[in-house]
Structure 1
Amino acid sequence: FASSSGPITVFTTRPDTVYGATFMVLAPEHALVKSLTSSEQFEAVNAYIEKAKLESEIERTAEGREKTGVWLGSYATNPVTNEPIPIWIADYVMATYGTGSIMAVPFGDARDFEFARKFNLPIRVIARAEDGTEFDSSSMEMAYDGPGILVNSGVLDGMKAGKEFINESIAALEGVGVARAKITYRLRDWLISRQRYWGTPIPITYCEKCGAVPVPEDQLPVILPDDVEFLPTGQSPLKLHPTWKNTVCSSCGGPAERDTDTMDTFVDSSWYFMRYLDPHNSESAINAEKVNRMLPADVYSGGIEHAILHLLYARFWTKAARDIGLIHFGEFAQTLRNQGMILGEDGEKMSKRRGNVVDPDNLVAEYGTDTVRLYLMFLAPWEMGGPWNSSGITGPYKWLGRVWSLYFDETSPNEPLESVTEKEVRFAVHSALKKVGEDLERFSFNTAIPAMMELTNALGRAKRTKGMLEKPVWTEALEILVKILAPFAPHISEEIWSHTSSTGTSIHLESWPTVDESALTRDELEIVIQVNGKLRGKMTVSSSAGKEDILAAAKVAENVGRFLEGFEVIKEVYVPGKLVNIVVKG
């Protein structure tokens, strides 16, 4: 990136997004900051630099922290668009990572998006979603980092967006002379000592004669004292505890002092998953047989804020344990899932300052825990999150009421009778069972819940069919519904199960139902008919009917013919088992 002080080199893990760089951000410590700062901005920039010096790296990069920054009063040139872009400093960019400068791509990066929104910086759309969805930068509520196709990206147009396709982008950018591939390691020194009581004691004593002496193995573990006072002295409580601090040197027998710092709690969280499998083992830190048999975990789900701290440390410890022969694997989990963030109703991160915090305790008190759980899963894709909508929570609440009614409420004699067949009931049940099972595997909870809602509606109609409640298919339907609901709404499911099952065990100990594929075949299909993309009718056809027969039947279906009369049919589209779209002109 060219600037008045020479080229500014950036390191990025996403070179495919370079066309979306609409501003640059330098770390406050970057060597070029002073030379790039205009005289008008000098005072503000200098004050910001001094403030950043007072904050730790962890504080500066903490997830959820409000973004701050100052414009330097100068511009760089995006090397692929040749457009001038403003240069800022911000404390979320670290001098110790990469080159200490970033190309900011608010379309695809959450931190850059938040920064751009706060300071009214432009957002350039550089991709469309895999399903063809296009984005409008003015209405985007969060950055998009999902799979898609690059657009507005010059030589990269039409390429697939995503980390797995980076090599193609690098080759294209190297071809036009604006980038080169480089590996940058994120590993940095880790200071593990903390001046606090809670933590693992550091097993070192200090002797005037012998210096630092490790505590002998037969004296491990070092146990924290119980009788400590937490006084506002600025020192660790252990430093003020003479009977614990003062000890005997294991080397010379003279007086010594224990190390009064404790280890960072990240030390413990780096291997807890191994210790939990045999937590009372006094012979060894981990039980290798159990660890090798039960780990790695299938799925680890957590916030993205753990990526450069807890996850990095845990992976390092796992690989170290493997390298010294304690375990047989190098990754503690096989799959990582990062949950998205639920924003305030204004589309911003929840904070007391903004006044957009939603108190879950109040919601639980009014609607119950299950409703709140359901709505959080229903609200948005698990890994994307989205803005809270207070009015939407009544939907899951009312749905759970309808579920309860299926099991315990009598059908009103005033309700009209339905005529639902047993085959239709089994189709609805096993279709939902298959959908929910697949969605659970994909963490696609927001699509699994509508499938259960549809099943509830179908069973509501079936319940009003004469004689249905006495049939085995009804018993099967109710049993499957409550079982697939259990992971989402565990409390009401357990309550229903305790009243309707004779097993005497918790529903959460039951096996997941098995899909009966034979129940998914249908004798007849309902086909939607569109003319020029607009709904004009529906029809029922045999599931064995061919495409030509279905297209012919669609043209003469009730209410459809009048939309074709006098027009020329130029295209006929049939989506098997779902819809017909007839395109006409005239």
Structure 2
Amino acid sequence: MSDYNHGEVEKKWQKKWADDNIFRAVEREGKEKYYCLVMLPYPSGNLHMGHVRNYGIGDVFARFHKMKGKNVIHPIGWDAFGLPAENAAIKNKIHPAKWTKQNIARMREQLKTLGISYDWDREIATCDPEYYKWNQWIFIKMWEKGLVFKKKANVNWCPSCNTVLANEQVSEGKCWRCSSVTERKDLEQWFIKITDYADELLEGHKELSGWPEQVLSMQKNWIGKSYGAEVDFKVQAGSSKDERTSKDTKTLKIFTTRPDTLFGATFMVVAPEHEIIHELENKIKNIGEVAKYIEATEAKSNIERSQSKEKTGVKLEGVEAVNPVTGKLIPIFTADYVLTGYGTGAIMAVPAHDQRDHDFAKKHNIPIVEVIKGSEPFDVQEKAYEGEGVLVNSGEFNGVKSTDAFKIVSEWVQKRGFGKKTINFKLKDWLISRQRYWGTPIPFIHCPKCATVPVNEKDLPITLPEDVEFTGSGESPLKTSKSFLNVKCPKCGANAQRETDTMDTFVDSSWYFARYCDAHNDSAPFDGKKLNYWMPVNQYIGGIEHACMHLIYSRFWYKVLRDLGLARDNEPFTNLLTQGMVTLGGSAMSKSRGNIVSPDEIVEKYGADTARLFILFAAPPQKQLDWSSDGVEGCWRFINRIWRLQDVVNTKSTNAAADKDKADLLRIMHKTIKKVTGDIEKEFQFNTAISSVMELVNALYSYKFHSNDGGVSKEVYKTIILLMTPFTPHLCEEIWSQIGGKGCISAAPWPVYDEKMIKEDSVELPVQINGKIKAKITAAADASQEDVEKIINSDEKILQQLKDKQVVKFIYVKNKIVTIVVK
């Protein structure tokens, strides 16, 4: 037969799939649905092999479950807002919309060339007004529900990206996108109260049995639920009694997970940004020294502040706090290792039982009071004791076990009225303001009479203006557009101004999966009936780096949609596969790093199926894959071996196949069906699935009775083509059409194995003596231990190994191995 022409074949079937709209998803009540989704891609302009792996994994699931008879939805779209487009606009003097649409067109073409089975009728782009209109609508609904607010806050600022970052977007003090060291700024910003759902985000993990434990653990740690007590420490300022008892006495509120150590608190520390310093600046005697320290702190990143070994600080002279349980006055310091983003921005310091506090106390000559005594002698003046024990120097609680004191002291504090038992979370409200152009405009108006009010829903979407200047100055470019900025108040009609911040692009990706269910609805985000048919997503695929950003944000957003009466389910994603990265030169492939390998060359030379097969065969999906082109040629050869099997199975053989020959081949076929089915459906081990098919191909090549076996070899060949369809769909479609298959193989039923055919009459069992394989025996399949012992006792070679030895243990693992322990 002619050689396999991948270019001609792949174009032919891509056109056929598109013309027949074979992957179009339509709701079919009564038919089991399957929602397969790969995380929303950013249109960077070109696919690399990391993308091919990601989208290839999704396509295997989608095609497999379609062949299993499910009603599959497999959509695609574009996470199209964001900084790269705006930075490109500044650099190249091109509008970000044009830059983005060019990139989308290029990547769409590449995805189609790879033969990914997307329902292109559901394609969305988050930069389209028809999409972000609903960002704005949902945002207003959240505001009406009390989940949205604006306040002045000390925020993370990226000096390179010239915008604010959420806490989740700062990693080790650096911008998640560009790795610049972040700064702190006081700015008026918009927040969403994700903290209202902190408990439910944790409880929801119970429904996510199909998620990797590592992701759940990362989310649990990020949300950071901790039990403790909030305690009020009164602040006294001034030198005279009248000053100390004045009406403007302040209170420092702290949260502690160690209320059992309250009696040992001998000083307090507040963050340099803490409001108490500003409120008492006229009473802090050394305010000049404090101001210089604060200025020096502003030049440090959070990571420098929290990880510095030297704990610097300045005492607030003339200001003291009262330890509420001892009544003693204790000094207050400001120190940069305390951050405003965590807890209350103030801590009580117990140097006897916290090494960080101990170091600070030693440096500043602060008393160290032991309040927990362990069972062994320990000098807390030399080092902090951080273990368990009994309370000492703790008034009426002396002798109480420290583990019991947590609850007892917390309740006592609450009863006395200077604190309460409480729960704290590390999770902070989601800061969504961005001082950039290329994002969803926040749909609010600032009126001198009515304050801040939402726009009228009938005026949505509020679209991005064209008359802007991209200066990269750090202020929103929307401020340069007079046509956008100046507006009438929707409430009173007075002259007013629009909000000029745009939304964090993680807003766009927090609900896109729901929009896919009804992608082009003009009157609502989606139709509820359609949403509830398709959701939740059965299989979600994406990187583990999104564990504490997108995967938390989207879970939160979906719960809000539920509480708005728009969705039914609690969780958006039933199963999650976190695919390993494809790395080159030690780093994940990324256009920004300049270390990408384009699939175009492989597709041009060897075809899309070779590119798909190679990247899926190279390693299990969950594992990192260090890029090497070794093996591409081998995958191309394997594809051609399958192609040439058409001639092989028709080769005339002189001898008729005996029943045993046919049974042996069919047994291998049914084993392969079972293995491939399990590897895709349960194990996600595509590489071993492909390897199993390779073994079946070898078996068919070795078979000697191809055209003289009653059609067995043709049945096996047909099965090979069906099993390979999720991996190499173009090749399999072409062969299917040539061997008389009905319709497209992409819609053909998945082969089913017969358990009876898999069972063998006999099995070969290795015999292990004291940990080493010494022999092999043949036994009947499912032989009992007694049967196996009889075989061994009649095997001269094994008996020689056991001569003059005492058998201590005899273990038979059915149909697997025999283990004998002797002495």
State TM-score, norm by structure 1. Answer: 0.62
Q: Secondary structure at the match of 2:720?
A: helix
Letter of the structure 2 residue corresponding to residue 458 of structure 1: A
* Residue of structure 1 aligned with 2:646, choices 401, 407, 424: 407
Change (3 A) 1:300 1:186: farther
**Do the aligned partners of 1:537 and 1:557 also contact (CA within 8 Å) in 2?**
no
What letter is aligned with 2:751? P
Q: 1:136-535 to 2 correspondence within 5 Å? A: 185-225=425-465, 230=470, 232=472, 234-343=474-583, 368-385=607-624, 387-388=626-627, 391=630, 396-409=635-648, 421-442=661-682, 443-461=684-702, 464-467=703-706, 471-505=710-744, 507-535=745-773
Deviations 1:123-174 (A, max 9, x none): xxxxxxxxxxxxxxxxxxxxxxxxxxxxxxxxxxxxxxxxxxxxxxxxxx97
Deviations for 1:34-87, whole angstroms, at most 9, x for unmatched residues? Answer: 9xxxxxxxxxxx9x987762x8xxxx8xxxxxx99977389xxxxxxxxxxxxx
Gaps of 5+ in 2: 1-217, 222-268, 273-293, 312-337, 346-401, 407-421
Change (3 A) 1:542 1:268: same
SS of residue in 2 equivalent to 1:72:
coil
The CA deviation string for residues 264-298 of structure 1, in whole angstroms up to 9 with x for no partner, is 22212111111221122222222111112221111
CA offsets, 1:492-517, max 9 Å, x none?
Answer: 33343343343132x22222222222
For 1:336, what is the secondary structure of its paired residue? strand
Measured at CA, do residues 204 and 12 of structure 1 come closer, stay the same or move farther in structure 2, by a change above 3 Å?
A: closer
For the 8 Å contact 2:442–2:501, the answer to whether it is kept is yes
The structure 2 residue matched to 1:573, chosen from 785, 791, 811, is 811
Residue type matched to 2:511 in 1? Answer: W
Whole-Å separation in 2 of the counterparts to 1:13 and 1:205? 37
2:79 aligned partner: none
Alignment correspondent of 2:787: 549
Measured at CA, do residues 534 and 191 of structure 1 come closer, stay the same or move farther in structure 2, by a change above 3 Å? same
SS in structure 2 at match of 1:250: coil
String of CA shifts for 1:402-450, please: whole Å, max 9, x gaps: 3333334579999x99986222222212212112222222323343233
- Give me the whole-angstrom Cα distance separating, in 2, the residues matched to 1:524 and 1:329: 51
Preserved contact between residue 782 and residue 814 of structure 2 (Cα < 8 Å): no
1:155 alignment partner in structure 2: none
Using the size of structure 2 for normalisation, the TM-score is 0.46
CA contact (8 A) 1:298 1:334 kept: yes
Code of the residue aligned with 1:457 in structure 2: it is: N
Q: Structure 1: where are the runs of 5+ without partners? A: 1-10, 15-30, 35-45, 61-66, 75-92, 101-172
Alpha carbons 2:679, 2:685 under 8 Å: kept: yes
| Paired residues, number | 442
CA separation in 2, counterparts of 1:243 and 1:352?
Answer: 36
Alpha-carbon deviation of 1:225? 3.8
CA contact (8 A) 2:621 2:686 kept: yes
Contact 1:33 1:72 in 2 (8 A): no
| Residue equivalent to 2:418 | none
Mapped to 2, the partners of 1:235 and 1:12 lie a distance apart of: 33
> What's the CA shift string for 1:252-273, capped at 9, x where partnerless?
4444433333222221211111
CA–CA separation in structure 2 for the residues paired with 1:394 and 1:562: 50
RMSD: 4.8
Distance 2:481 2:708 in 1: 72
State the SS of the aligned residue for 1:247: strand
Letter in 1 for 2:742: T
CA contact under 8 A between 1:345 and 1:389: conserved in structure 2? no
SS at match of 2:309: strand
**Residue 239 of structure 1, CA deviation:** 3.1
Bigger CA radius of gyration:
2
Using the aligned pairs only, state the percent identity. 41
Local SS of the residue matching 1:277: helix
- For 1:98 and 1:459, the matched residues in 2 are separated by 67
| d(CA) in 2 for partners of 1:478, 1:226 | 59
